[in-house]
Structure 1
Amino acid sequence: MDAFISLAVHRRWLTVLVSALACFAIASGVVRLVEVDVDFRNHFSKDDPRLVALEQLEETYALSDSLLVVMAPQSGAIFTREALTAVEEMTEQLWQTPFVTRVDSITNYSHSWADGDELFVEVLIDEAAALSQDDLERIKEIALGTEEIAGRFVSRDGRIAGLVVNLVLPDVNRQQAKVDVVDFLHAAVAEASSSHADIEYHVTGELLLNRAIRDALNEDTAKLGLVAFVTMLVVAFALLHSVSAVGAIIVMMVAVVISGLGFAGWTGMKLYGESGAALFVLMAVAVAHSMHVIEGMLAQMRQGMDRRKAAIHSVQSNAWPVFLTSATTAIGFLSLNFSEMPPFRVMGNIVAFGAMCAFVLAVTLLPALLSLLPVSARPLRAGKRAFFDLFGRFVVTHHIALLVSCGAVIIALIAGITRIELNENPLELLDRSYEYRRSTDFVSENFSGLEPFEYSLSAGREAGITDVEYLRDVDAFAAWYRAQPEVAHVFALTDILKRLNQSLNGDDPESYVVPEESALAAQYLLLYEFSLPMGLDLNNLIDVERSASRMTVVLKNLSAKEKIDLDSRAQAWLRLNAPSLETGATGATLIGAYSIKRNIEKMLIGTFVAMSVVSLLLVFIFRSLRFGLISLIPNFVPAAMAMGAWGYAVGEIGVAASVVTALAFGIIVDDTIHFLTKYLRSRKQGLLPSESVQSALSTVGKALFATTVVFALGFLVFGASGMASNQTLGLLLGTTVIIALLADFLFLPPLLIALDGAKESTRQIRERLKQESD
């Protein structure tokens, strides 16, 4: 390796040319990358049983995407001529939405009534502008007294209206179709707002969420990404005091990042919103490797070595630890393949490849550039002792006190993990700086819940949905759900049949029950379907074979734990009271709740495997089981401490936080390796543990501090992101690497002195330090 490095520097122009060609060849794969996928559902594994169930339900009931438009008059009343006219106009306008299949609102609601044995079905509101005050009172009474309307098309207090838009998007040019739909809705709402300035409009739905996520990612990349990039460079310059050295770092960053992206393109990976985090990790890895090499080179130049020899010497002395840090970083990030969420698997693979590219470039391109550029070292002032020399003396002098106090802090912070509650709420993926979040908050607080449980309840046979026993079971299940405090609204086939039964029995409230005979239920349903206008049939409620019906349960704002608990209680109720219907709920909200739990379980396995592999690698490299195991402590503890601190400060984590331990381990293991490599080198030279600690801190302390500052600030910048996942990852990872540095500086050295085996008393250490000072 030494000869190769020396050759790379002596043939520096050739090295730069070959490196550039290799990077260009890998980076050319970027042209194969397709558009970044921000679809919320693609965060889940295609094999997720609840996602499969949801897709089957949507196929069965001709569902695809749906949107909700909410209209809130400033007057606080929806049952006025002006407000209902605006709802009527918006209903007609929404029928022009691209790929629309159905629009439901209070104005086109199919209201049924009977005259004797004759059933009539007509829209509840026709020509709203011509309604009399009596008409308005009648409509209000019907709407608020009808389970199918109240909480679904009108808020239960009569202040707000909701319009539901159902779409079926094409398989071809699907992404463009989504753009067209959202653009149309925004334009329609803007036009309606200008015509009815006294009405507040809010639009929610999965398509709007995906657009908002895309906007947030673009904003993070354009603003926070630039801030992170500049911050890294400013820190590098502040510590290195060399414009040329920073120029070399920029080249390294660009080369590593485009190599990672090119790898993704050549291997056919699909990029997700979270993939952007991989690029910033790679930038930080490139900076870290470069800082270690450059700091070592500058140290040699201060001792009189010329630039070329200093570059060779620094790379030769750092090549092994840089390789180890790249390898362990790759192992740590490859553990993300244990995650069942595709975005994190992609992130892990990109970083793993990029980290190894960073090593190759650090021992080839970087020294060649440093030997070409006019890098100069600022000399230390005469008589001034370097900070980390003094810091090393402090650590070894107070190693017992540091070991005890750090241990106490570690235990106290880790205990905070018990306060953490798992929660993944798609409604809270963005903060309130985004219109989508403000709209969803308004709707959930003032209109109705936005997180549904969906059921496809099988009757067990074709045309069985009108069997009386089946209907009674469905009705009882719906009634049970309505009695639960977590539920905002329930809609089932039985609601329609009970209303029909009441209408055809003189509107007697006592007749608001399912028909007593199956044949009668079938007759009522057939009569009702024949009376429905085109586009408002029951295909979204009944399957083609009439063997199953759909039931929707809209929830209030619940945590993931509460959703899982409610689903478990529902299944228990079905087993006990209606075993023929027994099934689990599905829906994006429930998929997310179960996914975070499974993802954490799998990532714990992945992190354990990564730690085991790295431990075995370090045992082999250091040729010591003791040091291999010791190295795990400062690598695992910081992530646990950061999670504990998060538990005290926030108390909730989402699915993004489930990969923090693996991500952090892949990053912070670098500092431990650099420190232990220098420590063991000193021990082999015959130095005592305390002397080896001082030597290691003096040699790599500044580089470790510099790389940690780069990592921490680069991640903490994303704490200002409007996306919950980026915000959580940024804050947790930034906190973790800071804690890791403190552990490497304040906990690992005392631990090595205590466990190394060569016993030194505190008195002996102090006497040695005093002699050195004298």
Structure 2
Amino acid sequence: MDAFFERALRRSKIHLLLLAALTVGLSHFAVRVDFDFTLERLFAPEGGLFTPPTRSTEALDTYRAFTARHGKNDLMLYAAFRVDDVFSPDTREKLRALAARLRAIDGVETVITIDDAISAARTLGFSDEEIRSEMTSSPIFRGTIVDGRGEVSVIIAQLSPQCVNQKEREPVLAAVREVLQRDGDALRTRFYLAGIPTIEHEYIRLTQRDLLKFMPISMGVFLLLLALYFRNVVGTFLPLATVLVGVIWMLGGMALAGRPVSVLTTIVPNLIIVIGISDSVHMLSRYQEDLARRPDRRSAVAHMMTRMTWACFLTSFTTAVGFASLILTNVAVVQEFGLVSAIGIMLAYVLTIQVVPVVLDNVPPLRGRFADEFAQLISTRSMRAVARWVHRRPGLIVAATAAILTGAAFGIPRIEENSSWLQDIDSQNEVYVAHDYIEHSLSSIFTVELSLAGDFRRLETIEALDAYETRLRGEPRVGSVVGWADVVKEAMRADPFVRERRLPRTQAELDRIHGVLKATLGKTGITRALMSEDFAYSRVTIRASERLEARGLEEVVAYAESVRDPAAPFTVTPTGKSWLAKKSLDGVIHSMIATVGVAALVISLVMAFTFGSIRTGLIAMIPNFLPMAVTAGLMGYLDIDLNFSTITVFSVSLGLAVDNTIHFLSRYRIEIHREPDHVKAIYRTLEGVGRPMVFSTILLVLGFSAILTSNFKFTFYFGLLGGVTVFTALLGDLFVLPVLLIWFRPTVRTPREFFARFRR
């Protein structure tokens, strides 16, 4: 193989020019990649990379049918404010002027204020004297558009469908904020702007900020450590330059494929840098070792390629398998994260084996030395000390490992599945504060929706519906319940022949009220929001008295299902964006067992093939489950919830953990063939690859640690759990794996030797 690589290196300069030209071309597209943090992408088989569009979950089907009948609130903005009296003529006049300015913004379709609600109440027949008391007590208006004291109200603005895209949404939000700021001064109040569009916009802002903030920090730390480790210009800059080119290729490829950056894929560039740089470190370390043994520079580069190409491929491939296993989930954005990460890591590998040898072949031999203090830390003497520990105290190592696993086993059951719309946003963030203000002053804008199917033209159905709504209000966490029965009672209260908030007493009376409602409120959209045109489907909206996370949401839904009278002439199905997110998270969690299992199986088979023994492959996997257990246990002890932000770490951790194992076993195979003494082979293996293993792990840990200063929780937790994973994996490969190899003494073969046995 040395001769093959030496021939390939003769065209190294042409090769380098071609790579540079391709990188320049892809960089043109990389800077044009779009961002799409639409929360709809969290739900869903449709839009997934490997799930056919016709295969939808039951929850998604229900949600689509529900929104087709009653409309969607994904593009609604809520601007809450407090004044002395929202019903005063002066306040209403200023709100009318404000609403007119908001409607004039391109991208804003409709605007509803307390003034519009008052007009609707007048349409029903309420007098001006009655309106205040009715609106502050009616379940339709109280907590929805006004509080019980008439001091807090909310302006609701519906954005146009094109505002789903960040490019169209950003100027609209900026214009809305500008109008609210100006009119807030006129009203002598402050507007709190909330809604799903503001959350999606804030996710993009925070991730873009972290991307621009932490990549330079990571690269600065890497440059410093690489300079200390290699003590020469090439060794300092080449590893980083290689992975940065990989990032450009990945982003350029996404732009060419029309794939936007999502909330999960924003961390992929950092991942490529942190993970991909270790291959360069191992290759450069091997090159420095071979320079002392080979006759010339090109020979040393060729020998380095012979020894490292396959080992680096395996580390990249197994890491990519860990990420790629996420395509087995049923959520599009998680599938995309797994696939993009896997492709990015393999691109980084391809570039590493292309760029590093070409550059080394065209620069003077690396003559740098290791910094004295750094060398003292991870010198040959240190690795020999580790080998002595493994040789002389294997029982202590096994006992310590068992103790760690036992501690993790007690922490794992404490992990709880939980998620919320604002889970990754800091409590001091402006968007978080706005939602918190609305929840405490009015009610949560995140609702639990119930889709009811029955014949709602019949009086007995409306009576059963009213009884059901009354029982729903008995749950302490339910702040308000709005359904069609409330609208009917409000119409009865406004009817000049009734003037009482009650249900109709006869079918004829109900038919008359239904006719009045369709004639008066049909154009406002209120009737469609709560009742289908054929009166076959209705809607009950539950607004919580507090923010419901996944656990609370599930409990409220369970309560709603338990209080329904089995004899009621309608069925109840939970739905809505929050419930759909909960069901999607359940699907991801349940599929994670399969994804981790598939990743483990594939990696085990690759290890068995590479090292010519199924037994060796199984032994190699044992220390690689240690990081997963420790990470899961830590999540339990630190009360880190299992959600979309943290669920991916388990598949990723397995792919990351196995990297050092492959480098260790690759060197171990060489040493055991030189001298078939397992203990001596362990000593020589640790002396040969222990140093780059430790250094690459330090780079990984510091790369993950650089993002721990983020107050964006998604980024923070990924950095924390990723750092714990790779550090624990290093301990497993330095101590646990050597003990297992000495105890079980497996045969380690090359793939050629493995297949030769079967031919015989």
Settle same-fold status: TM greater than 0.5: yes
Task: Return the alpha-carbon distance in structure 2 between the equivalents of residues 176 and 619 of structure 1.
Answer: 49
Relative to structure 1, the CA distance from residue 44 to residue 576 in structure 2 (aligned partners, 3 Å threshold; closer, same or farther) is: same
- 1:150 aligns to what? 142
- 2:20 aligns to what? 20
Among 160, 169, 174, the alignment partner of 1:178 is 169
Relative to structure 1, the CA distance from residue 368 to residue 68 in structure 2 (aligned partners, 3 Å threshold; closer, same or farther) is: same
Is 1:551 matched with 2:551?
no
Tell which deviates more after alignment, 609-618 or 378-387: 378-387
Q: Residues 627 and 726 of structure 2 are in contact (CA less than 8 Å); yes or no, is this contact kept in structure 1?
A: yes
What's the C-alpha RMSD, in Å, of the aligned pairs? 3.1
Q: Residues 70 and 528 of structure 2 are in contact (CA less than 8 Å); yes or no, is this contact kept in structure 1?
A: yes
Q: Aligned with 1:164: secondary structure?
A: strand
Listed one character per residue, the Cα deviations across residues 191-232 of structure 1 (whole Å, up to 9, x for unaligned) are 1222233x2320111111111111112211111222223223
Relative to structure 1, the CA distance from residue 224 to residue 358 in structure 2 (aligned partners, 3 Å threshold; closer, same or farther) is: closer
- 1:646 aligns to what? 635
Q: Residues 448 and 574 of structure 2 are in contact (CA less than 8 Å); yes or no, is this contact kept in structure 1?
A: yes
Paired letter, 1:192:
D
Per-residue deviation, 1:186: 0.6
Listed one character per residue, the Cα deviations across residues 711-736 of structure 1 (whole Å, up to 9, x for unaligned) are 22222323333433222222211221
Per-residue deviation, 1:486: 2.3
Is 1:233 matched with 2:223?
yes
Task: Return the alpha-carbon distance in structure 2 between the equivalents of residues 379 and 659 of structure 1.
Answer: 37
Q: How does 1:618-767 map to 2 (within 5 A)?
A: 618-756=607-745
Task: Return the alpha-carbon distance in structure 2 between the equivalents of residues 166 and 148 of structure 1.
Answer: 19
Task: Return the alpha-carbon distance in structure 2 between the equivalents of residues 638 and 344 of structure 1.
Answer: 22
Structure 2 runs not aligned, ≥5 long: 47-55, 748-760
Among 196, 208, 214, the alignment partner of 2:204 is 214
Q: Aligned with 1:652: secondary structure?
A: coil
Q: Residues 29 and 256 of structure 2 are in contact (CA less than 8 Å); yes or no, is this contact kept in structure 1?
A: yes
Q: Residues 144 and 443 of structure 2 are in contact (CA less than 8 Å); yes or no, is this contact kept in structure 1?
A: yes
Listed one character per residue, the Cα deviations across residues 525-551 of structure 1 (whole Å, up to 9, x for unaligned) are 322443459646533233233432322
Task: Return the alpha-carbon distance in structure 2 between the equivalents of residues 330 and 123 of structure 1.
Answer: 68
Q: How does 1:73-92 map to 2 (within 5 A)?
A: 73=83, 87=95, 90-92=98-100
Q: Residues 110 and 123 of structure 1 are in contact (CA less than 8 Å); yes or no, is this contact kept in structure 2?
A: no
Task: Return the alpha-carbon distance in structure 2 between the equivalents of residues 349 and 368 of structure 1.
Answer: 29
Q: How does 1:429-440 map to 2 (within 5 A)?
A: 429-440=424-435
Task: Return the alpha-carbon distance in structure 1 between the equivalents of residues 21 and 119 of structure 2.
Answer: 71
- TM-score, L = length of structure 2: 0.88
Relative to structure 1, the CA distance from residue 336 to residue 123 in structure 2 (aligned partners, 3 Å threshold; closer, same or farther) is: farther
Task: Return the alpha-carbon distance in structure 1 between the equivalents of residues 599 and 121 of structure 2.
Answer: 67
Paired letter, 2:185:
S
- 2:153 aligns to what? 161
Task: Return the alpha-carbon distance in structure 1 between the equivalents of residues 139 and 8 of structure 2.
Answer: 77
Is 1:49 matched with 2:61?
no
Relative to structure 1, the CA distance from residue 373 to residue 517 in structure 2 (aligned partners, 3 Å threshold; closer, same or farther) is: farther
Relative to structure 1, the CA distance from residue 724 to residue 477 in structure 2 (aligned partners, 3 Å threshold; closer, same or farther) is: farther
Relative to structure 1, the CA distance from residue 99 to residue 737 in structure 2 (aligned partners, 3 Å threshold; closer, same or farther) is: same
Tell which deviates more after alignment, 345-354 or 702-711: 345-354
Is 1:450 matched with 2:445?
yes
Q: How does 1:78-477 map to 2 (within 5 A)?
A: 87=95, 90-110=98-118, 121=125, 140-156=132-148, 158-170=150-162, 175-197=166-188, 199-301=189-291, 306-374=296-364, 375-378=366-369, 386-460=381-455, 465-477=456-468
Q: Residues 638 and 739 of structure 1 are in contact (CA less than 8 Å); yes or no, is this contact kept in structure 2?
A: yes
Task: Return the alpha-carbon distance in structure 2 between the equivalents of residues 623 and 317 of structure 1.
Answer: 17
Q: Residues 231 and 371 of structure 2 are in contact (CA less than 8 Å); yes or no, is this contact kept in structure 1?
A: no
Task: Return the alpha-carbon distance in structure 1 between the equivalents of residues 631 and 288 of structure 2.
Answer: 34
Q: Residues 236 and 246 of structure 1 are in contact (CA less than 8 Å); yes or no, is this contact kept in structure 2?
A: yes
Paired letter, 1:430:
I
Listed one character per residue, the Cα deviations across residues 251-288 of structure 1 (whole Å, up to 9, x for unaligned) are 31122222323443454434323212222222223311
Q: Aligned with 2:116: secondary structure?
A: coil
Listed one character per residue, the Cα deviations across residues 8-51 of structure 1 (whole Å, up to 9, x for unaligned) are 334331332344355567767758x7522111111221234333
Listed one character per residue, the Cα deviations across residues 402-427 of structure 1 (whole Å, up to 9, x for unaligned) are 22112211221232111111111012
Relative to structure 1, the CA distance from residue 122 to residue 634 in structure 2 (aligned partners, 3 Å threshold; closer, same or farther) is: same
Paired letter, 1:44:
F
Q: Aligned with 1:107: secondary structure?
A: helix
Q: Aligned with 1:154: secondary structure?
A: coil
Listed one character per residue, the Cα deviations across residues 638-697 of structure 1 (whole Å, up to 9, x for unaligned) are 022112112101242211211111112222211111112222322233343332222222
Q: Residues 319 and 659 of structure 2 are in contact (CA less than 8 Å); yes or no, is this contact kept in structure 1?
A: yes
- 1:770 aligns to what? none
Q: Residues 531 and 538 of structure 2 are in contact (CA less than 8 Å); yes or no, is this contact kept in structure 1?
A: yes
Task: Return the alpha-carbon distance in structure 2 between the equivalents of residues 606 and 292 of structure 1.
Answer: 29
Relative to structure 1, the CA distance from residue 146 to residue 22 in structure 2 (aligned partners, 3 Å threshold; closer, same or farther) is: closer
Task: Return the alpha-carbon distance in structure 2 between the equivalents of residues 635 and 682 of structure 1.
Answer: 22
Aligned positions, number: 730
Task: Return the alpha-carbon distance in structure 2 between the equivalents of residues 22 and 88 of structure 1.
Answer: 57
Relative to structure 1, the CA distance from residue 358 to residue 123 in structure 2 (aligned partners, 3 Å threshold; closer, same or farther) is: farther
Per-residue deviation, 1:188: 1.7
Q: Residues 414 and 645 of structure 1 are in contact (CA less than 8 Å); yes or no, is this contact kept in structure 2?
A: no
Task: Return the alpha-carbon distance in structure 1 between the equivalents of residues 452 and 543 of structure 2.
Answer: 16
Task: Return the alpha-carbon distance in structure 2 between the equivalents of residues 164 and 337 of structure 1.
Answer: 38
Per-residue deviation, 1:609: 0.7
Task: Return the alpha-carbon distance in structure 2 between the equivalents of residues 34 and 519 of structure 1.
Answer: 61
Per-residue deviation, 1:71: 0.6
Per-residue deviation, 1:503: 4.0
Per-residue deviation, 1:703: 1.0
Per-residue deviation, 1:704: 1.1
Task: Return the alpha-carbon distance in structure 1 between the equivalents of residues 498 and 108 of structure 2.
Answer: 35
Among 545, 549, 560, the alignment partner of 1:570 is 560
Q: Residues 483 and 539 of structure 2 are in contact (CA less than 8 Å); yes or no, is this contact kept in structure 1?
A: yes
Relative to structure 1, the CA distance from residue 592 to residue 716 in structure 2 (aligned partners, 3 Å threshold; closer, same or farther) is: farther
Paired letter, 2:447:
P
Per-residue deviation, 1:322: 0.8
Paired letter, 2:387:
G
- 2:750 aligns to what? none
Relative to structure 1, the CA distance from residue 576 to residue 371 in structure 2 (aligned partners, 3 Å threshold; closer, same or farther) is: same
Task: Return the alpha-carbon distance in structure 2 between the equivalents of residues 259 and 230 of structure 1.
Answer: 22
Task: Return the alpha-carbon distance in structure 1 between the equivalents of residues 166 and 380 of structure 2.
Answer: 62
- 2:531 aligns to what? 542
- 2:755 aligns to what? none
Task: Return the alpha-carbon distance in structure 1 between the equivalents of residues 263 and 127 of structure 2.
Answer: 44
Q: Aligned with 1:428: secondary structure?
A: coil
Task: Return the alpha-carbon distance in structure 2 between the equivalents of residues 2 and 345 of structure 1.
Answer: 40
Q: Residues 396 and 694 of structure 1 are in contact (CA less than 8 Å); yes or no, is this contact kept in structure 2?
A: no
Paired letter, 1:706:
F
Relative to structure 1, the CA distance from residue 480 to residue 102 in structure 2 (aligned partners, 3 Å threshold; closer, same or farther) is: farther
Paired letter, 2:66:
L
